[in-house]
Amino acid sequence: MVDKNEAIKDYSSKNIKVLEGLEGVRHRPAMYIGSTSKNGLHHLVYEIVDNSVDEAMAGYCDKIEVTINKDGSITVIDNGRGIPTDPHPVYKKSAMEIAITKLHAGGKFDKGSYAVSGGLHGVGISVVNALSKKMKVTVKRNGQIYQQEYKIGIPQYEVKVVGKIEKDDTGTEVTFFPDDTIFSTTQFEFSILQTRFREIAFLNKGVKIVLKEEATDKKEIFHYEGGLEEFVKWVNKSKESLHKPIYFTKVEDKVAVEVAVQYNTGYQENVLGFVNTINTVEGGTHVVGFKTALTRAINDYSNKNKMSKDGNLTGDDVREGLTAIISVKVPEPQFEGQTKTKLGNSEVKGIVDSVSMAALQEFFEENPAIARKIVTKALESQKARNAAKKAKELVRRKSAFSVGGLPGKLADCSKRKSEETELFIVEGDSAGGSAKQGRNKEFQAILPLKGKILNVEKANPVKALSSDEIANLITAIGTGVGEQFEPEKLRYSKIIIMTDADVDGAHISTLLLTFFFRFMPKLIENGNVYIAVSPLYRIRKKSIHYVYSDDELKKIIAKLGQNINVQRFKGLGEMNPEQLWETTMNPKSRLLKKVTIEDAVKADETFSKLMGDDVESRRQFIAERAHEANVDI
């Protein structure tokens, strides 16, 4: 670690720049933290932890401790330099108070304080303060302990000295109570924080993050000296890897590039991009630069060693079975979109490309056995792609006999504007029949499937694309798959999975979600995929009630008495068209669950465990999560 005492002299109140006040945060919290739901609540913790991570990236902090307290508050402690406490040159108050009570105030706007920063908006701690009923901040610095408390962003007293310490004992401690008048839930979840902190620890080699939950005595320590090499192995842990991780890192034009690559025997591509530890789920210039270099490096090796007979390999070919993590630290990143999910800096593409190209070429020369394994896998993928092309042509020829080149079983809607239309994917002909009769033909289309579709997690892409049911799905949706995916060709704005409310229905939903996640992930990212919630019971006592869960049934029976008629629906096909419309398809009365990918790393791990070949990890996953499932026996 860097000498903190020297650094403390350089990092003082003059480094705290102020852009504007705190007004408006409580009126429009979603503008600052994304939402006021569970996601926004946990975002408060990330904002505080990001400040500690910035200290770690600058070399002044190596331990961060996060505790979910019994009273519902969160405490974050780090051993960084501590927030500056001396009087601010402009505001004449302690810089600590300015940083915590004014929006866009912090060391991140001062180029000398942090070379790179994750929480770039500089709104972090002040926004948490504004959205907390109570907050207490304690700073250790210059041999003193400073303290200030706040209520909904307002200081309760001037910053005061509450104790003395050794001069080299430094750091910041923040405890906050989220405001229950702002958030729909104020209950923090260990597993959500666990996922993010594991990522941060992998991305910041050597930093130790301790997560504790007082009520359950749960504790987990995230500390990885191997950094990205351990990260890539962790992502691949339920897959069979082909070789040891390829790892390289280099700083060029103040941009630090760090990459780990490991192929597995599967068919899925999993490329994860991070910028200043932020997970850029939509990729960006850093990911494009790496992909370009990888394709070129593998083609160079293949051509030089005369391994390819069918021309150059494509990006899709070389990324089959690839797990790669690209982490860049950029001084002034430009993110596209408010949620910071796509990097826009054009210069980063060239830097990542040149660094990756040189490193991959060097690795392939020094490790010919691994290089040959990787090229051979890509060549097999090329063969499969050519076979898939023939399969797609076959599908096209088959579908040419149906109306307008669409699958014969698809009952299309009359509207042509995709933003106004819906596609219901239903299981079996009997449910399909009810849905076709019950729907609004103007904007609702129905595609019945024959039983369970292929598990694409285990199947070769050629086999998957040759399957009639999958070919019908792809044709009906209209976007194409993989690199050929064209979002503007989407034929329906809502794609709704509508299956029976039983174990078989849940399995079919999972198979369909696996297909969308692996072949059309953009549909999930763009919020086009939904799951219809069909009723479990119909209750009749004078009037008719539809009930969607066993808990709801108990409450209604308790309210209406036991002298009622209860009908249990075993499947959608049992409902007449009017019932299906009224309960599950009518936009005015139905329940829909929107499918989201909260975290690509976690989603990939879940699909690999649930749908892959590793039986033991699947058994363990189901055993751990069984209590969360609503299983009908």
Q: How far is it, in rounded angstroms, from Cα 261 to Cα 325?
A: 7
CB-hemisphere CA count at 13 Å for 423?
Answer: 26
Burial class (CB in 10 A: 0-12, 13-18, 19+), 283: middle
Is the per-residue pLDDT at 404 higher than 60?
no
Task: Please tell me the CATH code under which domain 228-384 is placed.
Answer: 3.30.230.10
Place 210 in a pLDDT band, splitting at 50, 70 and 90: very high
Q: Where are the domains of the chain?
A: 4-222, 228-384, 403-534+572-628, 537-568
If we measure between CA atoms, which residue out of 81, 84, 85, 75 comes closest to residue 58? 81
Tokens of 202: 């992998």
Spatial CA neighbour of 285 closest among 314, 312, 257:
257
CA distance 596 to 524: 6
Separation between Cα atoms, residue 278 and residue 295, nearest integer Å = 25
Q: Identify the CATH assignment for 4-222 out of 3.65.10.10, 3.30.1200.10, 3.40.1000.10, 3.30.565.10.
A: 3.30.565.10
Whether the pLDDT of residue 632 is over 80: the answer is no
CA 26 and chain centroid, separation: 26
Listed in order, strand segments (DSSP E) in 16-83 are: 17-18, 63-68, 74-78
Say whether 427 is catalytic: yes
Active-site pick, 220, 502, 613, 632: 502
In the block, tokens 């009359």 appear at 414
- Relative to beta strand 537-541, strand 529-532 is unpaired
| CATH code, residues 403-534+572-628 | 3.40.50.670
CA distances from 552 to 478, 503, 565, 584 (A): 39, 20, 15, 17
Q: What is the mean pLDDT of the chain?
A: 86
What letter does residue 614 receive in the DSSP assignment? -
Distance in angstroms (rounded) separating the CA atoms of residues 356 and 289: 8
Identify the band that residue 631 occupies on the pLDDT scale cut at 50, 70 and 90.
very low
Q: Which two tokens stand for residue 310?
A: 């069918």
pLDDT more than 90, % of the chain: 51
Of 97, 229, 422, 427, catalytic: 427
Closest to 392 (Cα-Cα) out of 471, 503, 458: 471
63-68/529-532 β-pairing = unpaired
Which one is catalytic: 47, 78, 179, 500? 500
Lowest pLDDT segment from 68-72, 226-230, 448-452: 448-452
Contacts of 505 (CB under 8 A, 6+ apart): 427, 499, 571
One-letter identity of residue 79: N
Confidence of residue 387 (pLDDT cuts 50, 70, 90): confident
* pLDDT 10s digits, 88-111: 888 889 999 999 998 766 654 455
Residue 556 has pLDDT above 90, yes or no: no
The predicted-structure confidence for 481-492, as pLDDT tens digits, reads as follows: 876 788 898 999
For residue 207, the 8-state DSSP code is -
251 or 558: which carries more pLDDT confidence? 251
User: Which tokens in the block code for residue 577?
Assistant: 């068209």
User: Between 38-57 and 190-203, two packed helices, what is the crossing angle to 10 degrees?
Assistant: 30
Which whole-number Å values give the CA distances from 185 to 76, 179, 182, in the listed order? 20, 9, 9
Contacts for 181 with CB less than 8 Å, ≥ 6 apart: none
Question: Does the pLDDT value for residue 548 go beyond 80?
Answer: yes
Q: Which of 86, 149, 169, 504 is catalytic?
A: 504
Phi-psi category of residue 76: left, alpha or beta, with phi > 0 → left and psi -120 to 50 → alpha = beta
Q: Give Cα separations from 200 to 112, 203, 407 (angstroms).
A: 24, 5, 46
What is this structure's pTM?
0.70
User: In this structure, which long-range contacts are made by residues 401-409, counting pairs with CB atoms below 8 Å and at least 24 apart in sequence?
Assistant: 405/475, 406/475, 406/476, 407/447, 407/471, 407/472, 407/475, 407/476, 409/447, 409/448, 409/472
Give me 311's structure tokens. Answer: 């021309």
- Phi, psi for 452 (deg, rounded to 5): -90, 130
Least confidently predicted of 16-25, 391-400, 415-424: 391-400
The H or E element containing residue 40 is helix 38-57
Please count the other Cβ atoms lying within 10 Å of the Cβ belonging to residue 73.
Answer: 19
**Burial (CB count <10 Å: 0-12, 13-18, 19+), residue 128:** buried
Do 4-222 and 403-534+572-628 agree at the fold level? no
Active site residue 502: yes
Separation of alpha carbons 16 and 79, rounded Å: 20
Checking if the pLDDT of 114 tops 60, the result is no
Q: How far apart are CA 220 and CA 223, in angstroms?
A: 10
Look up 632 and say whether it is catalytic.
Answer: no
